[in-house]
């Protein structure tokens, strides 16, 4: 049996983490690159030292953890700064998920899914057998992001840093539409993985 390795992507606030939790419940092994990115910037990790050297100690909080909101305000208002940060974090995160994929393949895991918000932006699609895109309407996306406490300016900045969702949908093998009940999303995912 050869492993199937899928990538899962979608726009910010469209339900990638929810899809990951639902897939876990269905017995699918998932790795979320947002979690990996958080791990790479923990105190003591080389990426955090690089970030401190590049952006200054003011991007750390009083406990020497990365101040995520301060960092976000820097990188989402300046695309060059965003690229600098991505240059530090993305290679480390990619190394971690490629390691996981290699483990899955070596262990003949039936299906493994890597959740990558910027999958197409970082040209990772070549690493996967199939790509799943999770999407919703712009209105639902806006409501979800506002519910997170984000201002319209913060939302606009994050959206402009990502490929348009319609392009992601067009380029993907499978589409999961996330409007409404989680059970409906779960059913769509079940059909795809079966």
CB contact at 8 A, 92 and 50: no
Phi-psi label, residue 15: left if phi above 0, alpha if psi -120 to 50, beta otherwise = left
Residue 71 has pLDDT above 70, yes or no: yes
The DSSP line for 66-79 is B-HHHHHHHHTS-H
Average pLDDT over residues 178-185: 92
Sequence spans of domains, the chain: 4-193
The CATH superfamily label for domain 4-193 reads P-loop containing nucleotide triphosphate hydrolases (3.40.50.300)
pLDDT per residue over 111-145, tens digit each?
A: 999 999 999 999 999 999 999 999 999 999 999 99
Helix (H, G, I), strand (E, B) or coil at 144: helix
pLDDT > 90: percent of the chain:
88
Q: What is the pLDDT of residue 157?
A: 87
Q: What is the pLDDT of residue 76?
A: 86
Eight-state DSSP code of residue 45: S
| C-alpha to C-alpha distance for 68 and 46, rounded to whole angstroms | 17
Percentage helix, strand, coil for the chain under 3-state DSSP, each rounded to 5 = 55, 15, 30
Q: What is the pLDDT of residue 8?
A: 98
Q: What is the pLDDT of residue 1?
A: 64
The predicted model scores a pTM of 0.93
């Amino acid at each position: 049996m050869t492993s199937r390795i899928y990538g899962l992507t979608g726009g910010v606030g469209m339900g990638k983490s929810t899809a990951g939790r639902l897939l876990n419940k269905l017995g699918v092994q998932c790795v979320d690159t947002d979690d990996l990115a958080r791990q790479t910037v923990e105190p003591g990790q080389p990426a955090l030292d690089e970030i401190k050297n590049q952006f200054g100690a003011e991007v750390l909080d009083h406990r020497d953890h990365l101040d995520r909101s301060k960092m976000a305000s820097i990188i989402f208002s300046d695309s060059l700064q965003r690229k600098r940060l991505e240059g530090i974090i993305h290679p480390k995160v990619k190394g971690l998920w490629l390691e996981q994929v290699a483990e899955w393949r070596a262990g003949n895991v039936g299906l493994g899914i890597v959740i990558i918000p910027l999958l197409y932006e970082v040209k990772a699609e070549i690493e996967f057998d199939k790509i799943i895109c999770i999407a919703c309407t712009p209105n639902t996306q806006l409501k979800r992001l506002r519910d997170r406490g984000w201002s319209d300016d913060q939302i606009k900045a994050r959206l402009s840093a990502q490929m348009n969702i319609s392009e992601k949908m067009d380029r993907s093998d499978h589409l999961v539409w996330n409007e409404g009940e989680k059970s409906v999303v779960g059913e769509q995912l079940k059909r795809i993985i079966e």
